[in-house]
């Protein structure tokens, strides 16, 4: 087991090297500058789209804009926000949080481009059904010459969306936070039983297909996010005087040569990899969810998608980071990491109530992520061997829930993080090459939207001449 853990750790460290950091951060900066900050200037319009103002039930696709965003957030708002942030702070210190923020800020532009392309270059699978995702963007937008990139994404996606990390941290939270605080339960027996129970729950949802997944996500995700924000606000208000100093330390530590593991570069790698694992900007998984949206306007879905990093990283991940740092548990609880560290932080501040509420959050968010990951993995398998066979992925996915419940947190985390790095290469490469197509579509869309808004205004208020002639 130690050999496997060491191999996965080495693999993860290799793929998350400086070239990938440049690709993700540099690519995000390019998208922001190249678009002249277009997505950042249209948040109000994006919120109107999510509210259903521009939905058309006759458009092609499977999900409404709100359902597509909820399904994507179900995959991103999960244990990466609770356990992953704890792992980042344990390894890189407070400075890692700063680099997570950077991935989110630049991820807004990245998601606008990648998810606009996800709708613009949707393709038909072997059963003739319309599909979205980076593999279809490469196939339909770049042609046969770049087809190996599509295969690379689909293969990495099969492993990158395995539910092993979520299952591992869910079981650890149940075992250490609730059922085995006195150490009397045998770990492997509890892991197996809990893993089988989780597998039954996951199977009950994913065998209902994507519509059932979207209905579950659109109900659970907003409620869980609001609950977590409330819990965090409670803790931070108790430590309000310490917040300015804490925020300053996050920025200072982000650029300290001696910060965290591996110095400045090490902290950057930890923060950016954890940020990408959390909000998935530039990774490509979110493109598959948004590619299923009911819309004829690719830019519209790109605007919806850009809200993801704001909710996921700038809000939810920041909640976890500030509570862990302000309570000091990351320095006090030697040997603890992942979800157990976060549980300790909230228990310290809120007692049993905090443990119970956080346990509910962990359960709901972990499950919704595993629900969504099935959809991503099935689409990758369908692309590789044919959509008529992709339903077999459900059985594999459920089996990996049980496997993940007994894996080590390091192995589970490094496997998924490493595969996310491989998925980012074709996603970002295709998006950079096709960026001019996005900007052309964006200029056309906003020209039509502005003209339509002006026309509505004239109809509602009348022209200036009409106003003059009114009694």
Q: How far is CA 263 from CA 12, 103, 210, in A?
A: 18, 19, 43
Number of domains in the chain: 1
Q: Which two tokens stand for residue 20?
A: 């990938």
Q: Is residue 7 part of a domain?
A: no
Q: Does 99 fall in a domain?
A: yes
pLDDT at 463: 47
Cβ(131)–Cβ(122) under 8 Å?
Answer: yes
pLDDT at residue 4 above 70? yes
Tokens of 57: 């039930």
Residue 467 lies in a domain: no
pLDDT digits (tens, 9 = 90+) for 227-241: 888 888 899 898 888
Q: What gap in Å lies between CA 160 and CA 290, rounded to an integer?
A: 18
In a domain, 449, yes or no: no
Residue pLDDT, tens place only, 51-77: 877 777 777 766 777 777 766 776 667
Q: What is the pLDDT of residues 148-189, one digit of tens each?
A: 999 999 999 998 888 888 888 788 777 765 665 555 555 667
Domain span at residue 367 reads 14-442
Is residue 391 one of the residues assigned to a domain? yes
Residue 230 lies in a domain: yes
Q: How far apart are CA 404 and CA 167, in angstroms?
A: 5
Residue 305 forms part of a structural domain? yes
Q: Are strands 130-131 and 123-124 parallel, antiparallel or unpaired?
A: antiparallel
Q: Name the pTM for this structure.
A: 0.82
**CATH value at residue 336:** 1.20.1740.10
In a domain, 286, yes or no: yes
């Amino acid at each position: 087991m130690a050999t496997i853990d060491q191999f996965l750790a080495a693999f993860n460290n290799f793929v998350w090297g400086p070239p990938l950091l440049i690709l993700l951060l540099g690519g995000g900066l390019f998208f922001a500058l190249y678009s002249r900050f277009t997505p950042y200037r249209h948040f109000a319009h994006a919120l109107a789209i999510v509210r259903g103002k521009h939905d058309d039930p006759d458009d092609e696709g499977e999900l409404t804009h709100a359902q597509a965003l909820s399904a994507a957030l179900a995959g991103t708002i999960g244990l990466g926000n609770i356990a992953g942030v704890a792992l980042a702070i344990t390894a890189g210190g407070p400075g890692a949080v700063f680099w997570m923020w950077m991935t989110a800020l630049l991820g807004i532009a990245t998601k606008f481009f990648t998810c606009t392309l996800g709708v613009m270059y949707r393709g038909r699978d072997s059963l003739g059904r319309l599909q979205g995702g980076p593999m279809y963007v490469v196939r339909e937008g770049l042609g046969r010459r770049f087809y190996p990139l599509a295969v690379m994404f689909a293969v990495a996606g099969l492993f990158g969306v395995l539910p092993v990390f979520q299952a591992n941290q869910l079981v650890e939270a149940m075992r250490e936070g609730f059922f085995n605080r006195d150490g009397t339960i045998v770990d492997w027996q509890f892991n197996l039983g809990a893993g089988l129970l989780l597998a039954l729950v996951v199977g009950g949802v994913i065998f209902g297909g994507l519509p059932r997944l979207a209905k579950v996500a659109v109900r659970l995700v907003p409620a869980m996010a609001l609950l977590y924000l409330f819990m965090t606000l409670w803790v931070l208000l108790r430590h309000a005087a310490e917040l300015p100093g804490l925020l300053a330390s996050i920025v200072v530590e982000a650029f300290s040569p001696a910060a965290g593991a591996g110095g400045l570069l090490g902290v950057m790698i930890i923060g950016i990899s954890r940020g990408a694992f959390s909000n998935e900007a530039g990774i490509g998984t979110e493109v598959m969810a948004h590619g299923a949206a009911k819309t004829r306007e690719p830019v519209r879905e790109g605007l919806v998608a850009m809200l993801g990093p704001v909710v996921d990283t700038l809000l939810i991940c920041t909640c976890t980071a500030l509570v862990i740092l302000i309570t000091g548990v990351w320095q006090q609880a030697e040997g603890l990491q992942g979800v157990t560290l976060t549980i300790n932080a909230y228990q310290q501040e809120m007692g049993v109530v905090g443990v119970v509420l956080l346990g509910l959050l962990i359960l709901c968010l972990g499950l919704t992520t595993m629900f969504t990951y099935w959809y991503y993995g099935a689409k990758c398998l369908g692309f590789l061997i044919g959509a008529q066979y992709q339903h077999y992925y459900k059985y594999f996915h459920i089996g990996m829930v049980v496997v993940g419940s007994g894996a080590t947190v390091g192995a589970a985390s490094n496997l998924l993080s490493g595969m996310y790095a491989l998925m980012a290469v074709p996603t970002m490469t295709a998006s950079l090459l096709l960026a001019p197509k996005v900007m052309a579509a964006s200029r056309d869309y906003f020209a039509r939207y502005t003209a339509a808004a002006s026309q509505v205004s004239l109809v509602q208020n009348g022209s200036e001449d009409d106003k003059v002639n009114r009694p």
